[in-house]
């Protein structure tokens, strides 16, 4: 069972050496303004390099904004200019040298944009705090105390689509081998998907077909810029965990079938984030059944995430066919060498740098 977790996995022309992958996790550590705004620096390099040295097969870089207004916080990484590209190339070069596949999650935060770093409270910040007014499908704030977002016009929607396309071109120039579109956790694309946040009455709101129109436009624009030989991922919140009026697991399976036809290669299956104060039955592997449904019912490759912490647990998920790979988040923050430790426990092997051969 353990060896399955450490078997290579190929999508299009890219092969990850194992199925232990790193989930995108914001570091909130970039400069907020000036010429270095959104630019990766030594913290980001050391953070990702450590997990590559630790044997992680594929690393998805934190949500990287396609525009300044698309950042979750003023401290997020960005990929809207060429200065950012140069700094990111340093990271991708090192990851490749360690045998790790470098991926990037491109994102727009929508109505959840312009918030502070979590260790500063995470609340909304306005222009006086280097913030801005967020935009969204509808003028519905995320929560009490959050600003009413600007409702995107049809022209504004197309502008965001073009920003995703431009970000994709820069991701290629920066050396990434996987692009993931962030459609989860209540950010802009997820806001369009869910009727809880999408109250539009035009062609972008109402029916399932209308609510997926903007996400599919982004997918098509990204796929048109991303080389045919490189894989494209899409991250989804499989459910909003709302009792009524939200995005559902059934709709996730339905969307997965559509995404396949539009050139997406794998669904990164998470949940929640659209609405505050919802009840989520958090426990070990609590989101894995949603990935399993995508695989079983849509016949679509899927990665599982969510309180996957133990090697035997991760190995069982992959061996049982519930997911094609596991994405570790907090566990990789705690232990950058988790993949190497897991391989030892499970009787498998991962690439060991020559410098660490004595370990």
28, 48, 176, 187: the catalytic one is 187
Question: Of 163, 185, 178, whose CA–CA distance to 78 is shortest?
Answer: 163
Question: What sign results for the dihedral spanned by CA atoms 78, 271, 248, 275?
Answer: negative
- What is d(CA 174, CA 168) in angstroms, rounded to the nearest whole number? 10
Write the CB contacts of 220 (distance below 8 Å, at least 6 apart in sequence). 262, 263
The answer to whether residues 170 and 79 touch, using CB atoms and an 8 Å cutoff, is: yes
Q: Token pair 């070069």 is at which residue?
A: 93
* 176 annotated active-site: no
Pair of tokens at residue 138: 């509808």
Q: How many CB atoms lie under 10 A from the CB of residue 93?
A: 12
The answer to whether residues 103 and 176 touch, using CB atoms and an 8 Å cutoff, is: yes
Write the CB contacts of 299 (distance below 8 Å, at least 6 apart in sequence). none
Question: Of 87, 85, 103, 106, whose CA–CA distance to 95 is shortest?
Answer: 103
The answer to whether residues 230 and 12 touch, using CB atoms and an 8 Å cutoff, is: yes
The answer to whether residues 73 and 117 touch, using CB atoms and an 8 Å cutoff, is: yes
Residue 260: Cβ-neighbour burial (10 angstroms; 0-12, 13-18, 19+): middle
Pair of tokens at residue 314: 């991760």
Residue 62: Cβ-neighbour burial (10 angstroms; 0-12, 13-18, 19+): buried
- What is d(CA 232, CA 95) in angstroms, rounded to the nearest whole number? 19
The answer to whether residues 171 and 225 touch, using CB atoms and an 8 Å cutoff, is: no
- What is d(CA 11, CA 82) in angstroms, rounded to the nearest whole number? 28
Show which residues are catalytic.
Answer: 187
């Amino acid at each position: 069972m353990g060896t399955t977790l450490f078997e290579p996995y190929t999508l299009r022309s890219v092969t990850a050496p194992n199925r232990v992958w790193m989930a995108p996790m914001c570091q909130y550590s970039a400069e907020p303004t000036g010429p270095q705004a959104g630019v990766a620096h030594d913290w980001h390099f050391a953070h990702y390099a450590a997990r590559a040295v630790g044997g992680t097969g594929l690393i998805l870089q934190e949500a990287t904004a396609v525009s300044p207004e698309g950042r979750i916080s003023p401290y997020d990484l960005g990929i809207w200019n060429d200065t950012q590209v140069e700094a990111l190339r340093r990271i991708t070069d090192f990851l490749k040298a360690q045998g790790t596949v470098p991926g990037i999650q491109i994102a727009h935060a929508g109505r959840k944009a312009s918030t502070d770093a979590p260790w500063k409270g995470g609340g909304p910040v306005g222009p006086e705090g280097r913030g801005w007014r967020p935009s969204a499908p509808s003028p519905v704030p995320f929560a009490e105390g959050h600003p009413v977002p600007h409702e995107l016009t049809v022209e504004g929607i197309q502008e965001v689509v073009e920003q995703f396309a431009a970000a994709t071109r820069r991701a290629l120039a920066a050396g990434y081998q996987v692009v993931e579109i962030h459609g989860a956790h209540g950010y802009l694309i997820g806001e369009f998907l869910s009727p809880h946040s999408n109250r539009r009455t035009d062609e972008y709101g109402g029916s399932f077909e209308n609510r997926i129109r903007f996400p599919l436009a982004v997918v098509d624009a990204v796929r048109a810029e991303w080389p045919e030989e490189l894989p494209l991922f899409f991250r989804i919140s499989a459910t909003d965990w709302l009792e009524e009026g939200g995005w559902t697991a059934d709709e996730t399976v339905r969307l997965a079938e559509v995404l396949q036809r539009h050139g997406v290669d794998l669904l990164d299956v998470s949940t929640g984030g659209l609405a505050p104060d919802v009840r989520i039955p958090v426990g070990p592997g609590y989101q894995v059944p949603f990935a399993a449904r995508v695989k079983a019912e849509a016949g679509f490759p899927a990665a599982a995430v969510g309180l996957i912490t133990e090697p035997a647990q991760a190995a069982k998920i992959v061996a049982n066919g519930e997911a094609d790979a596991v994405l570790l988040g907090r566990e990789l923050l705690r232990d950058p060498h988790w993949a190497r430790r897991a391989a030892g426990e499970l009787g498998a092997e991962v690439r060991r740098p020559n410098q660490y051969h004595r370990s």
